[in-house]
Structure 1
Amino acid sequence: MARKKMDTMTEQMFYVLLALRGERHGYAVMQYILELTEGRVTVGAGTLYALLDRFERDGLIRQTRIEEKRKYYRLTGEGDRALRDECRRIMQQAADMERVLREEGRP
Protein backbone atom coordinates (compact mmCIF):
# COMPACT_ATOMS: atom_id res chain seq x y z
CA MET A 1 0.00 0.00 0.00
CA ALA A 2 2.68 2.51 0.97
CA ARG A 3 4.65 1.54 -2.14
CA LYS A 4 2.00 3.22 -4.28
CA LYS A 5 2.19 6.37 -2.18
CA MET A 6 5.96 6.75 -2.33
CA ASP A 7 7.24 4.04 -4.69
CA THR A 8 10.69 3.82 -3.07
CA MET A 9 12.01 5.59 -0.02
CA THR A 10 14.93 7.95 0.18
CA GLU A 11 17.57 7.13 2.76
CA GLN A 12 16.21 9.89 5.01
CA MET A 13 12.66 8.53 4.75
CA PHE A 14 13.85 5.06 5.70
CA TYR A 15 15.77 6.27 8.74
CA VAL A 16 12.98 8.53 9.99
CA LEU A 17 10.56 5.59 9.93
CA LEU A 18 13.17 3.36 11.54
CA ALA A 19 13.67 5.90 14.32
CA LEU A 20 9.94 5.97 14.95
CA ARG A 21 9.76 2.29 15.86
CA GLY A 22 10.09 3.89 19.27
CA GLU A 23 8.22 6.99 20.41
CA ARG A 24 10.30 10.11 19.73
CA HIS A 25 9.94 13.82 19.13
CA GLY A 26 11.57 15.55 16.16
CA TYR A 27 14.93 16.47 17.65
CA ALA A 28 15.25 13.00 19.20
CA VAL A 29 14.63 11.49 15.75
CA MET A 30 17.49 13.53 14.28
CA GLN A 31 19.82 12.54 17.14
CA TYR A 32 18.87 8.87 16.92
CA ILE A 33 19.62 8.78 13.19
CA LEU A 34 22.99 10.49 13.70
CA GLU A 35 23.97 8.04 16.42
CA LEU A 36 22.67 4.94 14.63
CA THR A 37 24.49 5.77 11.40
CA GLU A 38 27.57 7.14 13.17
CA GLY A 39 27.05 10.47 11.40
CA ARG A 40 26.73 8.99 7.92
CA VAL A 41 23.09 10.08 7.55
CA THR A 42 21.80 13.46 8.60
CA VAL A 43 18.26 14.75 8.39
CA GLY A 44 17.82 18.51 8.59
CA ALA A 45 14.94 20.03 10.51
CA GLY A 46 13.10 21.20 7.38
CA THR A 47 13.30 17.77 5.76
CA LEU A 48 12.34 16.02 8.99
CA TYR A 49 9.23 18.08 9.66
CA ALA A 50 8.10 17.78 6.03
CA LEU A 51 8.50 14.00 6.28
CA LEU A 52 6.69 13.82 9.61
CA ASP A 53 3.78 15.74 8.13
CA ARG A 54 3.69 13.53 5.02
CA PHE A 55 4.01 10.29 6.97
CA GLU A 56 1.25 11.32 9.34
CA ARG A 57 -1.06 12.21 6.42
CA ASP A 58 -0.24 8.85 4.78
CA GLY A 59 -1.00 6.96 8.00
CA LEU A 60 2.56 5.66 8.44
CA ILE A 61 3.06 7.40 11.79
CA ARG A 62 0.78 8.89 14.41
CA GLN A 63 1.25 11.63 16.93
CA THR A 64 1.18 10.09 20.40
CA ARG A 65 1.39 13.14 22.66
CA ILE A 66 2.54 16.71 23.05
CA GLU A 67 4.79 17.57 25.95
CA GLU A 68 6.42 20.97 26.51
CA LYS A 69 5.71 21.97 22.88
CA ARG A 70 7.32 18.75 21.62
CA LYS A 71 5.21 16.49 19.42
CA TYR A 72 5.93 12.81 19.87
CA TYR A 73 5.34 10.29 17.09
CA ARG A 74 5.37 6.53 16.65
CA LEU A 75 5.15 4.16 13.70
CA THR A 76 1.73 2.69 12.89
CA GLY A 77 1.15 -0.86 11.68
CA GLU A 78 1.02 0.44 8.11
CA GLY A 79 4.28 2.31 8.68
CA ASP A 80 5.94 -0.82 10.01
CA ARG A 81 4.81 -2.75 6.92
CA ALA A 82 6.17 -0.02 4.63
CA LEU A 83 9.49 -0.01 6.48
CA ARG A 84 9.80 -3.80 6.30
CA ASP A 85 8.88 -3.79 2.59
CA GLU A 86 11.60 -1.22 1.94
CA CYS A 87 14.11 -3.26 3.94
CA ARG A 88 13.30 -6.35 1.84
CA ARG A 89 13.74 -4.28 -1.34
CA ILE A 90 17.15 -3.03 -0.19
CA MET A 91 18.23 -6.54 0.84
CA GLN A 92 17.19 -7.88 -2.58
CA GLN A 93 19.28 -5.20 -4.28
CA ALA A 94 22.29 -6.22 -2.17
CA ALA A 95 21.69 -9.90 -2.98
CA ASP A 96 21.51 -9.08 -6.70
CA MET A 97 24.84 -7.23 -6.48
CA GLU A 98 26.46 -10.13 -4.64
CA ARG A 99 25.18 -12.59 -7.26
CA VAL A 100 26.60 -10.45 -10.10
CA LEU A 101 29.97 -10.17 -8.34
CA ARG A 102 30.10 -13.95 -7.79
CA GLU A 103 29.28 -14.55 -11.47
CA GLU A 104 32.14 -12.20 -12.39
CA GLY A 105 34.44 -14.11 -10.05
CA ARG A 106 34.83 -11.16 -7.66
CA PRO A 107 34.52 -11.35 -3.90
Structure 2
Amino acid sequence: MTQTAFFVLVALTDEPRHGYGIVQEVDALSDGRVQLRIGTLYGVLDRLAADELIELDREEAHQGRLRRYYRLTDAGEAALADEAERMAEGARTAARRVEGRRGGAGKQPPGAVRPGLAGGGA
Protein backbone atom coordinates (compact mmCIF):
# COMPACT_ATOMS: atom_id res chain seq x y z
CA MET A 1 0.00 0.00 0.00
CA THR A 2 1.38 3.41 -0.90
CA GLN A 3 1.83 6.11 1.72
CA THR A 4 -0.78 8.19 -0.08
CA ALA A 5 -3.36 5.38 -0.09
CA PHE A 6 -2.62 4.70 3.58
CA PHE A 7 -3.29 8.32 4.57
CA VAL A 8 -6.44 8.50 2.41
CA LEU A 9 -7.81 5.47 4.25
CA VAL A 10 -6.86 6.98 7.60
CA ALA A 11 -8.61 10.22 6.60
CA LEU A 12 -11.82 8.29 6.00
CA THR A 13 -11.85 6.38 9.30
CA ASP A 14 -13.93 8.85 11.28
CA GLU A 15 -16.38 10.16 8.66
CA PRO A 16 -17.13 10.31 4.93
CA ARG A 17 -15.27 13.13 3.17
CA HIS A 18 -15.22 14.78 -0.23
CA GLY A 19 -12.04 15.23 -2.24
CA TYR A 20 -10.92 18.57 -0.85
CA GLY A 21 -11.77 17.42 2.67
CA ILE A 22 -9.58 14.35 2.14
CA VAL A 23 -6.71 16.55 0.90
CA GLN A 24 -6.95 18.74 4.01
CA GLU A 25 -7.21 15.78 6.40
CA VAL A 26 -4.24 13.97 4.83
CA ASP A 27 -2.18 17.15 5.13
CA ALA A 28 -3.10 17.43 8.84
CA LEU A 29 -2.58 13.73 9.59
CA SER A 30 0.83 13.65 7.93
CA ASP A 31 1.99 16.98 9.37
CA GLY A 32 2.33 18.25 5.81
CA ARG A 33 4.59 15.39 4.66
CA VAL A 34 1.98 14.07 2.20
CA GLN A 35 0.71 16.79 -0.10
CA LEU A 36 -1.99 15.49 -2.40
CA ARG A 37 -2.75 17.11 -5.71
CA ILE A 38 -6.33 16.70 -6.90
CA GLY A 39 -5.31 14.63 -9.94
CA THR A 40 -3.30 12.27 -7.76
CA LEU A 41 -6.11 12.05 -5.22
CA TYR A 42 -8.72 10.95 -7.74
CA GLY A 43 -6.38 8.30 -9.13
CA VAL A 44 -5.91 6.93 -5.61
CA LEU A 45 -9.66 7.11 -4.92
CA ASP A 46 -10.38 5.21 -8.15
CA ARG A 47 -7.90 2.45 -7.21
CA LEU A 48 -9.21 2.18 -3.65
CA ALA A 49 -12.80 2.01 -4.93
CA ALA A 50 -11.85 -0.64 -7.51
CA ASP A 51 -10.29 -2.67 -4.67
CA GLU A 52 -13.51 -2.14 -2.66
CA LEU A 53 -11.62 -0.46 0.19
CA ILE A 54 -13.74 2.68 -0.12
CA GLU A 55 -17.11 3.43 -1.66
CA LEU A 56 -19.22 6.40 -2.64
CA ASP A 57 -21.23 7.60 0.35
CA ARG A 58 -23.24 10.35 -1.33
CA GLU A 59 -23.15 13.20 -3.81
CA GLU A 60 -24.12 16.77 -2.95
CA ALA A 61 -24.36 19.91 -5.03
CA HIS A 62 -22.22 22.71 -3.59
CA GLN A 63 -22.01 26.09 -5.33
CA GLY A 64 -23.11 24.52 -8.58
CA ARG A 65 -20.56 21.71 -8.43
CA LEU A 66 -21.09 18.11 -7.47
CA ARG A 67 -19.18 16.89 -4.41
CA ARG A 68 -18.66 13.17 -4.03
CA TYR A 69 -18.23 11.90 -0.50
CA TYR A 70 -16.34 8.66 0.08
CA ARG A 71 -16.40 6.32 3.06
CA LEU A 72 -14.26 3.45 4.26
CA THR A 73 -15.66 -0.06 3.75
CA ASP A 74 -15.20 -2.95 6.18
CA ALA A 75 -12.58 -4.35 3.82
CA GLY A 76 -10.86 -0.95 3.81
CA GLU A 77 -10.81 -0.87 7.59
CA ALA A 78 -9.28 -4.36 7.69
CA ALA A 79 -6.67 -3.44 5.06
CA LEU A 80 -5.80 -0.29 7.00
CA ALA A 81 -5.42 -2.24 10.25
CA ASP A 82 -3.19 -4.80 8.51
CA GLU A 83 -1.03 -2.08 6.98
CA ALA A 84 -0.74 -0.23 10.29
CA GLU A 85 0.42 -3.46 11.98
CA ARG A 86 2.91 -4.15 9.18
CA MET A 87 4.31 -0.64 9.54
CA ALA A 88 4.47 -0.93 13.34
CA GLU A 89 6.36 -4.22 13.07
CA GLY A 90 8.78 -2.59 10.65
CA ALA A 91 9.31 0.27 13.10
CA ARG A 92 9.92 -2.19 15.95
CA THR A 93 12.47 -4.07 13.83
CA ALA A 94 14.24 -0.83 12.94
CA ALA A 95 14.31 0.28 16.59
CA ARG A 96 15.84 -3.06 17.65
CA ARG A 97 18.50 -2.75 14.96
CA VAL A 98 19.36 0.82 15.91
CA GLU A 99 19.54 -0.15 19.59
CA GLY A 100 21.86 -3.03 18.71
CA ARG A 101 24.07 -0.75 16.64
CA ARG A 102 24.39 1.64 19.57
CA GLY A 103 25.87 -1.11 21.69
CA GLY A 104 22.64 -2.49 23.05
CA ALA A 105 22.50 -0.15 26.03
CA GLY A 106 20.01 -1.72 28.37
CA LYS A 107 19.96 -4.91 26.29
CA GLN A 108 19.33 -8.07 28.30
CA PRO A 109 20.86 -11.43 27.43
CA PRO A 110 18.38 -13.99 26.08
CA GLY A 111 16.27 -15.46 28.90
CA ALA A 112 17.14 -12.70 31.38
CA VAL A 113 14.40 -11.56 33.72
CA ARG A 114 13.68 -7.83 33.87
CA PRO A 115 12.59 -6.70 37.33
CA GLY A 116 9.15 -5.21 37.68
CA LEU A 117 7.73 -6.70 34.49
CA ALA A 118 4.95 -9.27 34.38
CA GLY A 119 6.48 -12.62 35.15
CA GLY A 120 9.73 -11.00 36.35
CA GLY A 121 11.13 -10.44 39.78
CA ALA A 122 9.91 -7.53 41.88
TM bracket, shorter-chain basis: 0.7 to 0.9
**In the alignment, structure 1 residue 20 sits paired with structure 2 residue 12:** yes
* Residue of structure 1 aligned with 2:75, choices 75, 78, 81: 78
Q: Runs of 4 or more off by more than 3 Å in structure 1? A: none
For residues 104 and 2 of structure 2, the distance between their equivalents in structure 1, rounded to whole angstroms, comes to 29
- For residue 111 of structure 2, what is the aligned residue in structure 1? none
Cα deviation 1:56-80 (Å, max 9, x = unaligned): 1111001010001000000000000
Sequence identity (%): 43
Question: 1:24 is matched by which residue type in structure 2?
Answer: R
| 1:20 Cα deviation after fit | 1.2
Bigger Rg over Cα:
2
- The one-letter code matched in structure 1 to 2:99 is R
Match of 2:46 among 25, 32, 53: 53
Deviation at 1:36, TM superposition (A): 2.0
Structure 1 residue corresponding to 2:57, chosen from 49, 57, 64: 64
Deviation at 1:46, TM superposition (A): 1.0
Matched, 1:32 2:25: yes
Residues matched between the structures, number: 99
Which stretch shifts more, 73-82 or 28-37? 28-37
Cα distance in 1 for partners of 2:94, 2:75 equals 29
Distance 2:51 2:4 in 1: 16
Task: Flag the structure with more relative contact order, 1 or 2, with Cα contacts below 8 A and sequence separation at least 6.
Answer: 1
1:98 to 75, 95, 106: 95
Q: CA–CA distance in 2 between the matches of 1:23 and 1:74? A: 4
Give per-residue Cα distances to partners, 1:49-98, cap 9 Å, x unaligned. Answer: 01111111111001010001000000000000000110001001100011
Amino acid aligned to 2:5:
M
CA distance in 2, matches of 1:41, 1:65: 26
Structure 2 counterpart of 1:4: none
The structure where helix makes up a greater share of residues is 1
Task: Describe the SS at the equivalent of 1:72.
Answer: strand
| Unmatched tracts of structure 1, length 5 or more | 1-8
TM-score (norm 1): 0.87
Across the aligned residues of Structure 1 and Structure 2, the Cα RMSD in angstroms comes to 1.3
Q: 2 CA distance for matches of 1:13 and 1:31? A: 14
| Distance of 1:106 and 1:33 partners within structure 2 | 36
